[in-house]
Structure 1
Amino acid sequence: MAPPLLFRLSRLILLLLSLAVAAAARIVPVQYLYPPFNLTYLNFIDTNGVFLLSPAANFSAAVYNAGATEAASSDDSQSRYFFSVLHTASRTPVWTATTAGSTILESVVLSLSATGLTLLDPSAARPDPAWSTPRLRQPVAALRLLDTGELALVGGRDNATTLWSSFDHPTDTLLHGQTLRFGAPPLSSSASDHDLSPGAYHLVLTGGDALLQWGSLTYWALSSDPAAVQDSSHPVASMAINASGIYLLADNARDTVYRLLFPSPPAATAIMGLKLDPSGHLRALTLTAGAGAPTTAWAAPANDCGLPLPCPALSLCTPGGNGSTCMCPDALSTYSSKGGCTPADGSVLAVPGSSCDADNQQRYRYVSLGAGIGYLPTRFAVPDTSGDAPTACRDLCSANCSCLGFLYKNSSRSCFLLRDQMGSVSRADAGVGLFIKALPPPAPQRRGSSSPLSLITIVFGIVLPAVAAVLISLLLYAMLKKRRPQVLKKKKSGGGGGGSWFKLPAMLSSSRASSSSVPSGDGEGVGEDEDDVLIPGLPTRFTFADLDAATDGFKWQIGCGGFGSVFRGELPDRSTVAVKRMNVGLGGTQGRREFLTEIAVIGNVHHVNLVKLRGFCAEGPRQQLLVYEFMNRGSLDQVLFRGAKLEWPARLRVCVGAARGLAYLHGGCDRKILHCDVKPENILLDDRGGVKIADFGLAKLMSPDQSGLFTTMRGTRGYLAPEWLMNAPITDKADVYSFGMVLLEIVRGRKNSKKHQPATAEDDHETSEYFPALALELHEQGRYAELVDARLEGRADVAEVARVVRVALCCLHEDAALRPSMSVVSAMLDGTMDAGEPRVELLRYLRMYGRGLVDLRPAGWMDPPPGNNKGSDTTAAAASSSWSPPSCVSAQQLSGPR
């Protein structure tokens, strides 16, 4: 009997051990989890996905199924899991390890190792992590979760060193004790309650405010909230929340810039969180210790109609006591719960890019939504133009591929282009007009069976003429190929320059005579075997003979530089133009195709503060000419440095106009365009007060092997941003830096360069200092009047001077990420936004350069030879440097289409 008894006892012991192991597996660790550790959501079904608790169980780390909290019928929602930190009682996510595509599926593993945290699918062919913590400075000892909601990887002795923290990488929630730093990625809403991947709404912290944005459109600003109070004018460095309210803090983390107090603050011991929800609302949530959903202590915007999409697109949102209502404006009577409102007459609303189609541009129309209907995001936007008639605003929208309509304010004559996407509309003042771009309804097609007569009509009326046309075209092509004409006579549609740009691409498919038989000026022409280049959307195409006649044999030179020489010309319609003859070659068919493509891009960029491209010429391997509108006062450097003095109001107009032009290049056209050579020589003026940026896009036209014509860099000494010299990525903030230097020169009326020669002996004391360093010093002392051009003799508004100087210094921050965008610069200069406060610690290099302790020039830089710096098209000549930064072309390509 003994053996059976022992056998039974052994089985009982094994069963008890297995139960103990299973029970231990379901025990959730508290505060610390140690590597190595791997899991899927299947490992913790019994614990609701939780695998780590904070000491008081306020928060938990879990593999979280967002769809499981609702009675979701979709199988897809039930299978979406995320690695999240949850408020335990309400299971509200406050942080999620997610980027686009990092959803945890059944086969995805969350791994904790000595190198960090990783989400990956080991069964994939290439198991690249969907998400992981960055490379850490020492091995990980543990994963730690605190009662503040902070999830951290710790190391070192006694786990005292924080290697990575979720508080430094917020997703959609900011918790009490956590700060959102200026320059850090914004808070992003989740796509929906069931999908925690990044959504469409963002909370962005700028140097002077906190903004809610939908795409690039701002729809709420903390400074404009009725409950907000401004305590100081310091630059904003961080944002924080506690039980009493929201605070924008200065760099010392103590002084408040703005504070917004909650109307009914909860208890001081409450756990507060600021959450950007999927609808676009920013909510202050009280996360209670007991069960139940969080309560909302405050929300912005105040009502649903303050959101970009409370109703379907173009629907009219009307706030009410029981919530908002949605309906279509009278002009858009067709309503669809999914597609929004459409024109009652059957017109087709434009979509981004549709206006680039030449046929559509000839047929589009604008649908007025009626007086008193506006568009919320324009409240926080900078006007694209001011002072122009509505027709000019319409034409500006027509020429912009991404424009879907425009809003015009009669009181200020301001024009706002509505780009890329449209939300719902709202009530506004009677003086506001909203116009939506549309195409006429398609022609109705007749229905019914075909008859023998209709078949005969089709055959003899369409097919046979088409066949005959093809045969005749082939015959003419063979004759033209056999016989090369000597000179292409001028055509009325091309030579006069009066044709519209969207009617001219067909000219490229005409005979090769237009590109091969015209003398190139140097005995070279395009070979007969070159393929015709067909590029849609080109501006007016001129022949070389047209422009030779217009400039009287290139007789009247008005400027020259690295890109080429500029000549004054007159077209047959008596309009004056500036003809730029570029110092580059086409480089074969592919080079010619790229050149024409870039011309199409630049020709489609239209703004009141950008010089308009009237046309071009591309003949032979060495004939590239650009035809621009003529600005009769010349460049800013001619007027400011060498001409009569420019009064202060005119200087301020130059500042604002140039800023608006650059802001449009960076964010208003369908592609982001970096200028890469912002300087007074490239800002042109006319006698009617017009201010226009020139030479935008020319650096993009230059191929990398052609950059040696002026320098291996893109820019001019004295205006180059520090990142050009530090092998750092080049973004639009390089243009912001250059523009800051230009602003200081406009204030002073002289070049910033230390080597500038004084006009008289009396002026010597003004030129001995490096002016940006002097501007920084006098800014700290508040002595702005001493920075103004002495020739103005005190005729300058000191408050406006102070604003311009402060904006300029903000543009010169050594860290590119901390410079304002050009749209913000424009708003600060025209007074629609308060000027930011420069951060002195980011400007110390200016003093060092002024004392000769550092050199802001690349190795091998040589000054341009005397006499090569004249006209309105000047680019500093330089020897090739041993350092080769990324070209401007690469910077634009990295930005991608907008």
Structure 2
Amino acid sequence: MATIRLLLLFLSIFSTATAQPKDTHINLGSSLSTSTNSTSWLSPLRLFAFGFYHEGAGFRVGIWLDASPNKTIVWTANRDDPPISSNSTLLLMSNGLVLQTTGAQQKILLGEISSASLSSASMRDSGNLVFYNSKNEIIWESFDSPTDTILGGQYLPSDTELFSSASETDHSIGRFRMKMQSDSNLVLYPKDTSDTYFDAYWATSTYNKAGMSLKLHLYLYEDGNMYLVNNTDYNSSLVAEGGVADNGIVIYRATIDVDGIFRLYSHIFPRNGIPIMTTDWEALSDKCEVKGICGYYSYCNLVDDQPDCRCLPGYNFTDPDQRFKGCGRNFTAEVCNGKNENFTMENMHFGAYYYSISSTKIDECREACLSDCNCEAAMFENNNCMKFSRPLRYGKLAVSNTVSTTAFTKVAIDIPVIANSTNSSPNATMMVAVEIKKEPRGKILIAVIILATCSVASIAFSCFLVYRNRAQSYRKMIEDNNLRLSEEIVLRSFSYNELVKATDNFKEELGKGSFGTVYKGTLYNSNRTVAVKRLEKVFEEGEREFRAETRAIGRTHHRNLVRLLGFCDEGSARLLVYEYMSEGSLANLPFKAQSRPDWKERVRIALDVARGIFYLHEECEPHIIHCDIKPQNILMDGFWTAKISDFGLSKLLMPDQTRTFTGVRGTRGYLAPEWYKNTPISVKTDVFSYGIVLLEIICCRRYIELLVPDNEIVLTDWVHSCFVSGELHKLLGGEEVEVKTLDRMVKVGLWCIQDEPALRPSMKNVILMIEGNMDIPIPPSPTSS
């Protein structure tokens, strides 16, 4: 798991970056009890809850969407354990979350910590339950062990699985699983099966598309977009229809449901109104396509778009009250010891593994199954006869007229076949079989030996054909899958009239950028709110910047980068369409007392920005120097996640290039000294700008302030003076913060703004130092710019 974390750090999957605003901590000794009103811990905005929930006559421990009227369960601890009895208590202790039951029995339910280093916990508004140590470092979190659901900001690593629940009211492990395979394919299977083509019923068509060494991971973004991503620049869009509610909160969850279908849901919580849950996407629309939806010797038939399990002729339900469990024989004789009969079923399809396939006629196929003791059923399709041995499974009555199959199921006739409206198919008719004649024993023995020899040869040849064709079949399933995924994010091309309509003729201005004005808009086809940047410099320079920006952003995707959705390049019109960031820019937050984030939020925002810059510098290809890092270009979404915007001034680096010369660009005050010295511009230029922004975030003031004492006008000089004198508390105006974190942040900021680029740390080291994972030497005095 640690390796996976490192690989996905730069795709916004590193979970320490998902903290929500006003994150509250649950202290050691806190408890929950089934016998009191204190049965759960709520997230700060009361969106999610962790604790005891009722199931049957007992309780389970889990996480649910508390803001939802139905309290949707999204995670359950120890799913297959027996329900917890009443008079039970959960106690947060230094070695984990301890469950105390009747009789004073105790067991560590969650997060067993061998070193007893647990210090506090937090139920976040993302739906993630997190345990911290005394250094405020995450040592356990529920996002690392999903059950049947992933939430916004959560991922499913390679070689891990989600399991459906047993029922809507029983959240133990059910009958289906979804696996993010090491071959980069996301596949749905019945639970107790191997990872083979014949058991799969849905896949994402990404079989090794990212390369053998670049395993994909499923990631659900907070805005509802769902991607298969790796640790570099490969993206495959699974769902790209998400958005953020304009007048409330929207939470996305992707769940493998009880019926085995993987679906994406959105829960919208308007500020004034009734919560709404909608299904935004589903992997399959035909529920009978789910292999295992009906058990052995049964088949699925759609009735009013719902799966109805029916027994094959000659079989009865093993449990009439739970028909999905399958059927059993209503005859006792073996099919090779007497008279047999075949039932012909039109449009019946068996999706299981066949042991033999041959080209023949339909009557010959029926007779071939009758004379083969191993054959339990045969299926004739496209002049091919496929034989199936016991047990028969994955039966489905096709509803499409384009599918033409005929199935033969074989039963012995020692007793009358019981047929009724629920057990037999309306398309089934009985075919009388040929009776096996008695022959002298010697002839029978010779015939048996010849038949056995031929059977061995036939089976060996069939196995060879199956072995050769299985890989081709697997690839064919991928190619023929209904959901075909793009190998990369495809930007949408908008017409100018579309964007005029979307913005109501550019009515509502959100702000001005370096190359144009940004307007709020709504896409009429999806009712999604977007930000439309109208470039005003459309001559040579503007066109060049426009093309560079669309290419650069179109190839990047990171949690801390504003996502480009599309563009307009019509005549002289140059427009860019971005995701809408509802909370505005960072320039509006730290400098206003009424909306100033608290200290923990500011530390998190500083890390968000650092991770976004790190991705640009080292993870995306080609590498990007932003050249204009400033608070106005750092935007906040509805979850207060900081995202870097405005790549219009970006300078792309070739893979073998680390420095470049260019004209002066960017915003005064945040510019590194090399801009004015005509010296090479490198990634360290962005590090300098980040250092200024970091000091502004720490102190909640701008780089230059005139209405202050003379020694405080220039922020960098004042910060260094306070650092040298050991008076860092002056920077915060009485605000109480964690002293070690403040010291660490200030030292990082002072190192970033060193006059000499070689002295500035890389963004990777910036992240490590802020997180406390790298020692920070005493910084020298920076040269004021």
Give the TM bin, normalised by the shorter chain. 0.3 to 0.5
Greater helix proportion: 1
Greater strand proportion: 2
**TM superposition score normalised by structure 1:** 0.38
